Amino acid sequence: MKLRQQAPRRRRRGPVIERRFTFARLAENVWTALKQPRNACFLAAILLVSFTAGPLMRYCKDHRYFAVRGVEVRGTERLTASRVRTWLGMVEGRSIWRTAPRDLEESLRRYPPVADAHVRRILPDRIEVTIEEREPDVVVRDKRGFFFADVDGVLFEMARPDTSELPALPIVTVARGAAGEEPELIGPPDPNADATLGDASRLPTRVLAETIALAARLEGGHGGIGVSEVAIEAGSEGPDRPDLVVFSTDGRLAVRLGWGSWDAKLVSLSRVVAHAERAGHAADDGLSGRLDLRDPEAVVARWAHEGAV
């Protein structure tokens, strides 16, 4: 039996894809698409936005409708709103879009009385500034005068002698030797300057902050005595570790604490004061004498009316 030979099958060819690209063909396709009104309107809108958005934004930024006409200051107690506006500079009249809140905040934080600041825009023409002021924890006294300072060791405002807050806060006095400076011989002497005092700005910030924190603890009752003044004097271990001398409220008791180990020294001070009161060393007006607590394990006490103990 003979098998009939089948003819080979032909493969179906798909559509021919034109792989060549020419600008003429692109222009033809674009022109075909633009013949449809919807596509033409869409392209016209894109071109309109592209060429007018930039100039329109610049016009709005510089338009006087968005010029700052008022700066509202909140949160001030010790500071005045006019002083804060002066620190901000020429904000009024400037476009609100060209007034960056972060830049204004950083500018205000550079001033010592300002602990923090927040600025926000209120469209179309107002700026709101919220100020967080530093609160005084002690009064620092040096050769320049009296200054309010906080627990961070920042001197932020000069305190006048007639300021009502002055008597209510402990005083930190900076001795000349503690500031590590030489006697000043330039120019005539200042008749109101105290030659025995140094400059607090020459002290390491950490030293001043730690001293202020200790004064706050003593003022809060730690140590068992009321404190009116803490003196920073030159120590034998360099400017980073001065000697601190604490004076009682009436000034009759002086306690030399040295530097460091505050918890152990305050505990020893409380025990010595309690023991002295039980032993009858305290007169009617309180204890009077000198204590050396630089070594909290070997306290030296000298009472004024009882002699050495």
Digit-coded pLDDT (tens) for 33-49? 656 676 667 666 665 65
Q: In this predicted structure, which of 108-122, 167-181, 286-300 has the lowest mean pLDDT?
A: 167-181
Q: How confident is the model at residue 102 (pLDDT cuts 50, 70, 90)?
A: very high
Digit-coded pLDDT (tens) for 232-248? 998 877 778 899 999 98
Q: Is residue 59 part of a domain?
A: no
* Per-residue confidence (pLDDT) for residue 181, from 0 to 100: 52
- Please indicate, yes or no, whether residues 142 and 128 belong to a single structural domain of this protein: no
304 contacts 289 by C-beta, under 8 angstroms: yes
Q: In this predicted structure, which of 30-39, 112-121, 165-174, 252-261 has the lowest mean pLDDT?
A: 30-39
- Cα angle 83, 84, 90 (rounded to 5 degrees) comes to 100
Q: Is residue 301 part of a domain?
A: yes
Q: How confident is the model at residue 287 (pLDDT cuts 50, 70, 90)?
A: confident
273 contacts 225 by C-beta, under 8 angstroms: yes
Beta bridge partners of 289: 253, 303
* Per-residue confidence (pLDDT) for residue 264, from 0 to 100: 94
Residue 213: domain span? 138-181+194-308
* Per-residue confidence (pLDDT) for residue 190, from 0 to 100: 46
Q: Is residue 41 part of a domain?
A: no
* Per-residue confidence (pLDDT) for residue 189, from 0 to 100: 42
* Per-residue confidence (pLDDT) for residue 211, from 0 to 100: 94
* Per-residue confidence (pLDDT) for residue 25, from 0 to 100: 65
Q: In this predicted structure, which of 19-28, 158-167, 171-180, 273-282 has the lowest mean pLDDT?
A: 19-28
Q: Is residue 1 part of a domain?
A: no
- Please indicate, yes or no, whether residues 228 and 246 belong to a single structural domain of this protein: yes
The average pLDDT across 55-81 equals 81
Which CATH number characterizes residue 113's domain? Answer: 3.10.20.310
Residue that finishes a domain, picked among 133, 150, 169: 133
* Per-residue confidence (pLDDT) for residue 17, from 0 to 100: 47
- Please indicate, yes or no, whether residues 173 and 277 belong to a single structural domain of this protein: yes
Regarding pTM above 0.95, the answer is: no
d(C-alpha 173, C-alpha 81), whole Å: 32
- Please indicate, yes or no, whether residues 149 and 242 belong to a single structural domain of this protein: yes
- Please indicate, yes or no, whether residues 161 and 241 belong to a single structural domain of this protein: yes
Q: In this predicted structure, which of 22-31, 78-87, 103-112, 153-162 has the lowest mean pLDDT?
A: 22-31
* Per-residue confidence (pLDDT) for residue 39, from 0 to 100: 62
Digit-coded pLDDT (tens) for 142-199? 888 899 999 888 999 888 777 776 778 889 999 877 765 544 433 444 455 566 688 8
Q: Is residue 186 part of a domain?
A: no
- Please indicate, yes or no, whether residues 163 and 289 belong to a single structural domain of this protein: yes
Q: Is residue 206 part of a domain?
A: yes
User: pLDDT at residue 279 above 60?
Assistant: yes
Q: How confident is the model at residue 117 (pLDDT cuts 50, 70, 90)?
A: very high
Between residues 91 and 282, which one has the greater pLDDT?
A: 91
Residue that finishes a domain, picked among 93, 112, 133: 133
- Please indicate, yes or no, whether residues 157 and 200 belong to a single structural domain of this protein: yes
Q: Is residue 32 part of a domain?
A: no
- Please indicate, yes or no, whether residues 156 and 300 belong to a single structural domain of this protein: yes
Strands 300-303, 307-308: parallel, antiparallel or unpaired by DSSP? antiparallel
Q: Is residue 11 part of a domain?
A: no
Residue 291 CB contacts under 8 Å (≥ 6 apart), including other chains: 253, 254, 255, 256, 269, 272, 299, 300, 301, 302
- Please indicate, yes or no, whether residues 121 and 247 belong to a single structural domain of this protein: no
- Please indicate, yes or no, whether residues 289 and 162 belong to a single structural domain of this protein: yes
- Please indicate, yes or no, whether residues 199 and 294 belong to a single structural domain of this protein: yes
- Please indicate, yes or no, whether residues 91 and 205 belong to a single structural domain of this protein: no
d(C-alpha 22, C-alpha 96), whole Å: 51
Which CATH number characterizes residue 271's domain? Answer: 3.40.50.11690
Q: How confident is the model at residue 64 (pLDDT cuts 50, 70, 90)?
A: confident
User: pLDDT at residue 267 above 50?
Assistant: yes
What token pair was written down for 140? 């620092």
The rounded mean pLDDT for the chain is 80
The average pLDDT across 8-29 equals 57
- The number of distinct structural domains making up the chain is 2
